[in-house]
C-alpha cells in the first residue's frame, strides 16, 4: 500500500512541477502557489544557489559561477550541444541495455530494434541541421533583398541602421549579441543549438521539436508495452490471484503489481517517466512556436508587441486622465450647478474605462496557409528573392 501511495505522490509532484514550469506565468495562476513555484524554478532557484555559493565558498566562488554563466549563456559555445548528445546517447544506451532483451516480446516485434535506432538517427540529423545551418544572416551583399522582402510596419519596426554591422536593418531582423550578426526574421538564440533561430532554419527547429516529442512518446509507449508484455508472459495476475489469494480486482492487484514493477523493472519505469516528462515539455515548446508560425510572428516580435501595447495603454490612460482633470477643473471654474447625487456618482463610468483599446496589427500575417508556407519555404530560398535587386536611386 505504501508503494501505491508513493507512486501517486510522485505522479502528483511531477504534474505540479510540469504545470508550474510551462503554465505558471498564465493569468489564471496569478497570485497562486503555481506562479510562485514557476518563479522559483525559472529564477529563484539560481538566485538561492548563488547566495549559497557566496555564503559557503566566498565571493570569489560566486564570481566564478557568474563568469561560467556568462561563458555559457552570453558567448557561442557547444556546452549545451554536448549535453544534448549525452542525454540522447545515454537514454538510448540504457533503453538498449535494459529492454532490448525483451524484444521481440508479447506486444513488440523485432523491427522496433531497428526503427528506434532510425528514429534516434533522424533526431540527431535534425539537431545538426538546426545547429549548423545558416539562420538567415543579413550582410552587405543581401541586405537590399531583405529590405524589399520584409517591409517596415512603422509600429514595432522602423527604418534604422545596425550600430554594429553598419548596414540598414531590415524589418523583423535583429542583431544577436551572442553570434555577433544580424539575423533575418529573428526568433531567438537557442543555446541548445548554439545557433540563432531565424528565417532559414525555423523549419528545422520546428521539425526538431516535433520529432523529439514524438520520439519520446514512441519510447515511452514501447517501454510500457515491454512491461505489459512481461506482465502477460509471466502471468503475474494469475500468480497473485491463484497462489497468493489476492482478489481479482484492480484495487486489490494494483499495489502488488506496482511492487513487482518497481522491484523487477524499475529502470524501464524510470526511463518511461523521464520520456513522458520530456515529451510534455517538448509538446509545450512546439505548440508555442507552431502558434507563432500560424500567425507569422516570432518570439522577438511577441516581446516587441507586448512592450508596444503596454506603452500605448499607459499613453491612452495618461491622455484620458489629463482630459478628465481638464474637464474637472473647467467644471469647478464654471457657474455652480446642482451637485450630482451620490447614487449617480457611484455608478458613473470612470474616464479610464473609455480609453481606446490597443489592437495588434500584424502586417506580416498573410493567412494560415501562406504563413506556414513561408516558414517551410523561406523567402530568401526562392528564385524571386535571389533575382530581386533594389532600384537605383
Residues identified as active-site: 190
Residue 172 region by backbone torsions, left for phi larger than 0, else alpha for psi between -120 and 50, else beta: left
Helix, strand, coil abundance in the chain, percent, nearest 5: 65, 5, 30
What is the grid cell recorded at 71?
561563458
What is the spatial distance between Cα 238 and Cα 254, in angstroms, rounded to a whole number? 13
Give the Cβ contact number of residue 91 at 10 Å: 18
What is the spatial distance between Cα 35 and Cα 97, in angstroms, rounded to a whole number? 40
What is the spatial distance between Cα 108 and Cα 102, in angstroms, rounded to a whole number? 9
What is the spatial distance between Cα 298 and Cα 199, in angstroms, rounded to a whole number? 10
Packed helices 299-333 and 266-294: angle between N→C axes, nearest 10 degrees: 60
What is the grid cell recorded at 153?
510596419
Question: Are 195 and 183 contacting, i.e. CB atoms less than 8 angstroms apart?
Answer: no
Radius of gyration of the chain (CA): 29
What is the spatial distance between Cα 55 and Cα 346, in angstroms, rounded to a whole number? 55
| DSSP code string of 132-151 | HS---EE-TTTHHHHHHHS-
Residues 6+ apart with CB under 8 A from 17: 37, 41
What is the spatial distance between Cα 304 and Cα 306, in angstroms, rounded to a whole number? 5
Length of the chain: 393
Residues 6+ apart with CB under 8 A from 20: 34, 37, 38, 41
Residue 31 region by backbone torsions, left for phi larger than 0, else alpha for psi between -120 and 50, else beta: left
Amino acid at each position: 500500500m505504501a508503494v501505491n501511495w508513493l507512486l501517486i505522490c510522485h505522479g502528483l509532484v511531477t504534474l505540479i512541477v510540469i504545470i508550474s514550469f510551462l503554465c505558471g506565468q498564465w493569468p489564471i495562476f496569478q497570485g497562486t502557489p503555481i506562479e510562485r513555484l514557476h518563479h522559483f524554478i525559472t529564477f529563484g532557484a539560481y538566485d538561492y544557489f548563488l547566495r549559497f555559493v557566496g555564503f559557503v565558498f566566498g565571493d570569489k566562488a560566486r564570481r566564478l559561477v557568474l563568469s561560467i554563466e556568462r561563458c555559457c549563456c552570453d558567448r557561442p559555445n557547444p556546452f549545451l550541444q554536448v549535453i544534448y548528445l549525452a542525454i540522447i546517447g545515454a537514454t538510448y544506451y540504457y533503453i538498449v541495455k535494459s529492454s532490448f532483451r525483451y524484444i521481440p516480446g508479447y506486444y513488440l516485434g523485432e523491427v522496433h530494434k531497428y526503427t528506434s535506432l532510425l528514429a534516434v538517427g533522424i533526431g540527431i540529423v535534425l539537431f545538426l541541421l538546426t545547429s549548423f545551418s545558416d539562420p538567415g544572416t543579413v550582410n552587405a551583399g543581401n541586405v537590399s533583398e531583405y529590405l524589399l522582402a520584409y517591409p517596415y510596419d512603422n509600429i514595432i519596426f522602423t527604418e534604422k541602421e545596425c550600430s554594429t554591422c553598419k548596414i540598414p536593418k531590415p524589418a523583423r531582423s535583429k542583431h544577436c549579441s551572442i553570434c555577433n550578426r544580424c539575423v533575418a526574421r529573428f526568433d531567438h538564440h537557442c543555446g541548445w543549438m548554439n545557433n540563432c533561430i531565424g528565417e532559414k532554419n525555423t523549419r528545422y527547429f520546428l521539425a526538431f521539436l516535433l520529432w523529439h516529442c514524438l520520439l519520446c512518446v514512441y519510447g515511452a509507449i514501447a517501454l510500457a508495452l515491454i512491461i505489459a508484455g512481461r506482465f502477460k508472459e509471466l502471468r503475474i495476475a494469475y500468480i497473485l490471484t491463484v497462489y497468493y489469494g489476492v482478489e481479482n480486482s484492480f484495487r486489490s492487484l494494483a499495489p502488488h503489481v506496482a511492487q513487482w514493477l518497481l522491484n523487477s523493472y524499475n529502470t524501464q519505469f524510470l526511463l518511461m517517466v523521464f520520456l513522458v516528462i520530456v515529451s510534455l515539455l517538448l509538446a509545450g515548446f512546439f505548440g508555442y512556436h507552431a502558434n507563432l508560425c500560424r500567425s507569422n510572428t516570432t518570439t522577438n516580435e511577441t516581446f516587441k508587441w507586448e512592450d508596444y501595447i503596454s506603452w500605448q495603454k499607459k499613453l491612452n490612460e495618461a491622455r484620458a486622465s489629463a482630459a478628465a482633470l481638464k474637464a474637472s477643473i473647467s467644471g469647478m471654474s464654471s457657474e455652480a450647478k446642482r451637485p450630482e447625487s451620490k447614487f449617480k456618482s457611484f455608478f458613473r463610468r470612470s474616464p479610464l474605462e473609455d480609453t481606446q483599446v490597443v489592437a495588434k496589427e500584424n502586417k506580416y500575417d498573410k493567412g494560415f496557409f501562406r504563413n506556414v508556407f513561408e516558414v517551410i519555404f523561406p523567402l530568401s530560398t526562392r528564385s524571386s528573392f535571389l533575382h530581386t535587386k533594389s532600384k537605383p536611386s
